[in-house]
Amino acid sequence: MTAKLMQRQLSRRHILGMIALQTAATAGLTRIGLRSAHAAEPAAVDNAPAVVVGSGYGGAVAALRLGQAGIRTLVLEMGQLWNTAGGDGKVFCSTLAPDRRSMWFRTRTEAPLATFLWLDVVNKDIGPYPGVLDRVHYDNMSVYVGRGVGGGSLVNGGMAVTPVKSYFAEQFPTVDADEMYGTYYPRARTMLGVNTIDPAWFESTEWYRFARTSRKAAANAGLKTAFVPNVYDFGYMQQEAAGTAVRSALAGEVIYGNNHGKRSLDKTYLAAALGTGNVTIHTLERVRSVSRAGDGSYVLTADRIDATGTVVETRQYSCTYLFLGGGSLGTTELLVRARDTGTLPALTADVGAGWGTNGNTMLGRANHVWDTVGANQATMPVLGIDDWANTANPVFAEIAPLPMGFEHWVSLYLAITKNPERASFTYDSASGTVKLGWTPAQSAVSVSMAKNLFDRINLANATIYRYDLFGSASKVFADDFCYHPLGGCVLGKATDDYGRVKGYDHLYVTDGSLVPGNIGVNPFVTITALAERTMARVLAEGTAP
Ligand code: FAE
């Protein structure tokens, strides 16, 4: 087959997958496959050679590559399919006017920035519903994650950053970095639809004034900034600015979903996976346990919920090959529970260990009145302060927007620090829950590194921090939540060097739990590239079906 013909076939299949997703949503189906392209709910699948848990980055890569290899694959996703418009004609609600679609079974939103001028004006009462953003609470850390077909890609800022090669090699000493940077990172970026902002437009548009103001402040402290790529379509964004396309990134949409412009996984990997005709996705089904039958097959128990959260059915699935893509929290919790309740007793002590926050800390600075950030701000970050090479205090800080529709002079940042602290998940048999042993002292390490950098910026600009954004009276650094949960089933420790779980054959991890707690930049390109590497290996070796 010629390359051209292959490409035509792929795009035809991709389109079929898109139609299947659209029709399933319109018809309110919870099972999505090529048959749903004809508005017929595919039959429930009780067993398949391969099951994938979760439809975020790791799950989506596994589903596509299995489907392309001709393997019948079932994806189980606890969130819903997001492409049915609500009463307002939109699939997702906006950040400034959140409704029940915003958060996973909450009665009030829990936005990262809790207050403005110490006023409780950000969060809103909502009705409980399987909304798109979840904030999972552990004792000293809460973690934001996406829920739905596409996982974190539905809610994230789209920043598609490849880490410096030397740091990748430091974090993954047993992985061939040349192969990653020569093959799997480029493959991941192509599949994800990564693109970059036109620098001339960036310099001239009002929508990125906030980033230019932060860049100037960093430069005054002798710090350099770098453009970062994104999966948001910048061509579309320019049309939004010109008034020729419906606004999304320029209408404040991001953490509760983007109605336009973003190449989330349902538009890329998952559409292509469904297009193979071999992949079915069941939505609103949460896998709660995994065990192994006498014949070596894996048995999964999953609860299917309705829009109120009521369990309407509990089902069992069986498969020969099991791919875990539930994310750092989802996958690790499943495996820790399986080991400690004895359903997969041969899992090693490394399962649950090596978890970190990617050194995340958020903070705001107050600019002088003449350093405006603009009432109009695009929600997709495109610049980072890059001080990673500073070995005494390595930090990469994303210059984040704060689109409130009025001038507020706040520069907001998500600092990614090289925090070496790690924590473990443990099973608490008394409550039947999985706990995370992260401590406030471990967050303090990230805060101190972020403070070192931003004290320099404040000193050079004669500016101060904002004290009014994170809920309590004088909190400057958000040290109690993160966006980048990483680790728990670390590559080369809980698994072999290709994500194959130690102690069991035909059991694979493909998501962020493989990354050892920190990767120095926003993580989804690395998660995707590692999943591509795993799938290439297991399919080539025949260690998958
Ligand atoms: P993930 O995408 O979380 O997917 C896991 C999926 O599994 C989810 O759909 C779950 O609902 C589902 N699931 C979990 N447990 C179960 C179960 N038991 N049964 C069935 N389904 C289950 O995992 N990263 C970047 O690189 N750039 C950014 O700009 C960026 N911005 C972010 C902004 C926000 C607000 C958030 C929350 C995250 C951001 N991230 C960003 C992080 C990024 O989205 C995250 O690292 C990836 O989504 C993780 O990919 P995984 O495949 O590990």
Catalytic entry in 253, 398, 421, 532: 398
Q: Is the CB of 326 under 6 A from ligand 1?
A: yes
- pLDDT for res 543: 53
Q: Is the CB of 159 under 6 A from ligand 1?
A: yes
- What does the pLDDT look like over 251-295, one tens digit per residue? 999 999 999 999 999 999 999 999 999 999 999 999 999 999 999
Closest CA to 286 of 130, 424, 507: 130
- pLDDT for res 117: 81
Given a contact cutoff of 8 angstroms between Cβ atoms, the answer to whether 508 and 499 are in contact is yes
Is 421 among the residues known to form the active site? no
Given a contact cutoff of 8 angstroms between Cβ atoms, the answer to whether 334 and 287 are in contact is yes
Strand partners, 103: 133
Residue of 82, 145, 315, 379 to test ligand 1 pocket, by largest number of atoms within 8 Å of CB: 145
Residue 79 CA: nearest ligand 1 atom is: 11
Catalytic entry in 282, 484, 506, 532: 484
Q: Is the CB of 131 under 6 A from ligand 1?
A: no
Q: Is 169 exposed, middle or buried (0-12, 13-18, 19+ CB in 10 A)?
A: middle
- What does the pLDDT look like over 108-152, one tens digit per residue? 999 998 888 887 888 999 999 999 999 999 999 999 999 999 999
Percentage of the chain lying above the pLDDT 70 cut: 95
Residue 45 has pLDDT above 70, yes or no: no
Report pTM. 0.96
Q: Is the CB of 523 under 6 A from ligand 1?
A: yes
Is 484 among the residues known to form the active site? yes
Q: Is the CB of 152 under 6 A from ligand 1?
A: yes
Residue 76 CA: nearest ligand 1 atom is: 20
- Under the banding of pLDDT at 50, 70 and 90, the label for residue 4 is very low
- pLDDT for res 191: 98
3-state class (DSSP) for residue 24 = helix
- pLDDT for res 38: 61
- What does the pLDDT look like over 211-246, one tens digit per residue? 999 999 999 999 999 999 999 999 999 999 999 999
Residue 151 CA: nearest ligand 1 atom is: 9
Give residue 512 CA to ligand 1 midpoint distance, Å. 8
Residue 300 has pLDDT above 80, yes or no: yes
Give residue 153 CA to ligand 1 midpoint distance, Å. 7
Given a contact cutoff of 8 angstroms between Cβ atoms, the answer to whether 266 and 21 are in contact is yes
Give residue 511 CA to ligand 1 midpoint distance, Å. 9
- What does the pLDDT look like over 65-92, one tens digit per residue? 999 999 999 999 999 999 899 999 999 9
